[in-house]
Amino acid sequence: MIKNYIKIAFRNLTRNKGYSCINIFGLALGFAISLLCMLYIKDEYSFDRYNLKADRIYRINSDLSYSGKSMQGAASPTPMAETLKRDIPEVEESTRLGKYGSKLVKSGHAVFREQNIIYADSSVFEVFTLPMITGSPQKALSDPLSVVISEKMARKYFGTTDVLNKILIFDTKDVRRVSGVMKDVPDQSHFQADFFLPLYETNDAKTNKWTNHIFNTYVVLKSGSDPKIITAKFEKIVQLYMDPALRRYFQRSLAESRKSGNDFRYSLMPLLDIHLKSDRQGELAANGSIEYFYIFLAIGMFILLIAVFNFINLTTARSVKRAREVGVRKVMGSDRSVLVLQFLSESMLTTWLSLMTGVLFLYILLPYFNALAAKKLSFLAVANPESIFFILAGTLATGLLAGIYPAFYLSSFQPISALKGGLKLFNKRESVRSYLVVCQFSISILLITATLLISQQLRFIRSKRLGFDKEHVLIVKTGQSNESDVITFKNEAVKSAGVKSGTVSGFLPVTSQRWNDMWYPKEKTDEQSAVNMQEWMVDADYVKTMGLVLVQGRDFQEGNIADQQAVIINESAAKKLGYKNPIGKTIHKTGEEKATIIGVIKDFHYESLRNQIEPLGLFVSGNALGQQVKQAFLESVSFRITSSALGSEIFSLRENWEKVAPGRPFEYSFLSEDFDAMYRSEQRVESIFTAFASVAIVIACLGLFGLSAFSAEQRTKEIGIRKVLGASVGSITALLSKDFLKPVLISIVIASPVAWGAINLWLHNFAYKVEVNGWIFLLAGVSTVFIALLTVSFQSIKAAMKNPVKSLASD
């Protein structure tokens, strides 16, 4: 019986090759996109699950308030890890991780700039599952001059993993001994570490202040412990330790701070939630997004549904062609259940053929998707047992969903009507198909509109006035070289005619070095008047080189010793400090640090347009700022170069660098490129949405093409009679097209408000954003109508131009 079902199913597929190809191709595209989305979702969901204790590991999050401004941080007070392990019995182990930026790493003649350098406590190997190949996990970070490296780095620098006690030099002067080699940290981790350095040797760890939030703190809870109980104990911890710190550094109690709108709250975040649900200040790496996770899930389902709707529409539309077959089968004694099984078997065969074709499409598309999404998804991931189960279950569900309605519809035909050829497509069936077309095009229009609005926001970002000039600025990465070498390099370079100006500073108006601290408009540190201000160490040529606009006061002057105790602030800082005329005013930090305001620069966007412009202070080299700020100062040198001299000046700069720092790589980028890199994730989303919207409209139009072809075939005699009576090709084309354009127009009405709500939700991530105008929805709608009209018109014109004599003589 089953063999007979399959034989008949194959026969029907080959008999109607055109419609079979449309069904298989459409479903295959749907399967390919849904499998892509499945691989993406699976990859995002798998982050940090390699850890054996993943379900018991938590990060301590901080929710702070300063002068009415809230700050959500991934870092917590420096002593938090040790305190929690000591004071809370439910805590089994704790550790801290910190990241300060890139470093140049050297071994022999091999010199590379490395990004994945993390400072860690020795307990990091007790908390996270990071197997050691050589070395002791307990002792590997006990020596302040030790370093643990990944297997990949061991082979990169030494060609082997047998590298214990080998020497690596960081930033030319920091000599370290390799004390261990660990397995590479999996790609699916919320932090990447190729090098672990001892955290306790850093200045921030040595100061051990409760008011410093520098490191990410992690705890492992004992089995069976309730996280809510530990969270409830944080208040006691704050009372015991934060209160004395506030009294010492701010001369205010915790209660007084809270009354004035300043607060310190802490909570536990499950390790498995960090990648998808955390976007806090101080993250060790850029995380994923739960929004995009659900968007990919929805897109995968919706595009597959579009393909399924095609199958249903074309199968039911073709039902008249099989009416006599159903009539004969019923007369010969077949009951309805047998017919249902026959038609379901045809549906399942089409679905399985589509799946095989879809897997082939997946193999072809995956490299392009990886490039668009910056992922490393493997085609082999579809072959693991878990994926196979979901694919088989999904295919079975798809086959049933696509076939159940057509099967029951076809098997319901009355044998007498079917055999007489009097069967007609009832309006009820027509309306079902119209509903499905509406659903198809609503999804397509939603994706098209979202793509257009994302593109508009990116154009807005590129064209918005930023408050600085990002063009023709070349940045040379110096990597915390010797200060005198960096200054010499800059001074030699600016002598060239093609270099307008140059400045030393790792603090740039793109995502780069950042440091902030509390400043006060008076000597007494009153938290209520505190301003959380960015501290950027620059030189006297920074304002000129970056094209910043001075609106009050003066710029720094080369060689002016008084400027070492001066600051130039932005307009936001002046406003927060409460100054209408800030020139000459002195601002203070805790301790004896202070600075006199000598100038005010116009606000500029030194971070992504996702963020509001916050208070900023520029300080020249020599000011008594923190050690980390001074190190960041030497990270790079920037040059404003004439556009006609870019090529020659890069060559000249390389020569100068090799003289100043022989053996060190010459690394450079352009400020405009670094600016674009801040929005790379949005650019990826735009590209992916464009691709998915294109696929959705192609699948929907395939179905429309098939339906219009069948409709023209069914109305052959009607068209012939109309032509005999004088109807023009244009009027017949319009007649055949209008029935299909109606559901497309309804789709526009349905999809537009949904798209408006979805895109406004996405734009909520930006502090500065484009206005959502109606023309975007009009453009999306007109584009869709035009594409649909082209699709339907092809068949309509073909039918209208047919010889009416042949049409009327066909019976």
* Whether 229 contacts 235, CB under 8 Å: no
* Whether 296 contacts 40, CB under 8 Å: yes
The token pair that represents 425 in the structure block: 């497509």
The token pair that represents 684 in the structure block: 């990826």
- H/E segment holding residue 217: strand 213-221
Average pLDDT value for the chain: 84
617/634 Cα distance (integer angstroms)? 17
Residue 294 CA, chain-centre distance (Å), reads 12
| pLDDT greater than 70 at residue 628 | no
Q: How many CB atoms lie within 10 A of CB 477?
A: 19
Q: How many CB atoms lie within 10 A of CB 399?
A: 24
Q: Percent of the chain scored above 70 by pLDDT?
A: 84
pLDDT of residue 180: 95
pLDDT of residue 362: 94
Q: How confident is the model at residue 647 (pLDDT cuts 50, 70, 90)?
A: confident
Nearest CA-CA partner of 588 in 665, 685, 518, 538? 518
- Tell me the pLDDT tens digit for each residue of 137-186: 999 999 999 999 999 999 999 999 999 999 999 987 889 999 999 999 99
- Tell me the pLDDT tens digit for each residue of 22-58: 888 988 999 999 999 999 999 999 999 999 999 999 9
| pLDDT greater than 60 at residue 102 | yes
153/155 Cα distance (integer angstroms)? 5
pLDDT of residue 12: 66
SS (HEC) of 128-151: CCCCEEECCCCCCCCCCCEEEEEH
pLDDT of residue 544: 94
88/240 Cα distance (integer angstroms)? 13
Q: How confident is the model at residue 245 (pLDDT cuts 50, 70, 90)?
A: confident
- Tell me the pLDDT tens digit for each residue of 545-602: 999 999 999 999 988 888 888 999 999 999 988 888 899 999 887 666 788 999 999 9
Distance in Å from the first CA to the final CA of the chain: 36
DSSP assignment of 663-703:
TS--EEEEHHHHHHHTTHHHHHHHHHHHHHHHHHHHHHHHH
140/181 Cα distance (integer angstroms)? 9
Phi, psi of 548 (to 5 degrees): -80, 155
pLDDT of residue 702: 81
- Tell me the pLDDT tens digit for each residue of 715-768: 666 767 776 666 776 677 777 677 778 888 888 899 889 988 888 888 887 888
CA distances (Å), origin 104, targets 98, 372, 603: 18, 30, 33
- List the domain boundaries for the chain: 59-277, 431-468+675-811, 479-660
- Tell me the pLDDT tens digit for each residue of 479-532: 766 778 888 899 988 888 889 999 998 888 886 566 777 788 875 556 667 788
The residue with tokens 């030494």 is 158
Show Cβ contacts of residue 383 under 8 Å, excluding neighbours closer than 6 positions: none
Show Cβ contacts of residue 395 under 8 Å, excluding neighbours closer than 6 positions: 31, 351, 352, 355
Q: How confident is the model at residue 792 (pLDDT cuts 50, 70, 90)?
A: confident
Q: What angle do CA 471, 477, 478 make, to 5 degrees?
A: 140
| pLDDT greater than 90 at residue 629 | no
| pLDDT greater than 50 at residue 645 | yes
Who wins on pLDDT, 691 or 809? Answer: 691
pLDDT of residue 426: 43
| pLDDT greater than 70 at residue 791 | yes
Q: How many CB atoms lie within 10 A of CB 481?
A: 23
pLDDT of residue 569: 94
Q: How confident is the model at residue 386 (pLDDT cuts 50, 70, 90)?
A: confident
pLDDT of residue 805: 58
Q: How many CB atoms lie within 10 A of CB 136?
A: 13
The token pair that represents 188 in the structure block: 């699916």
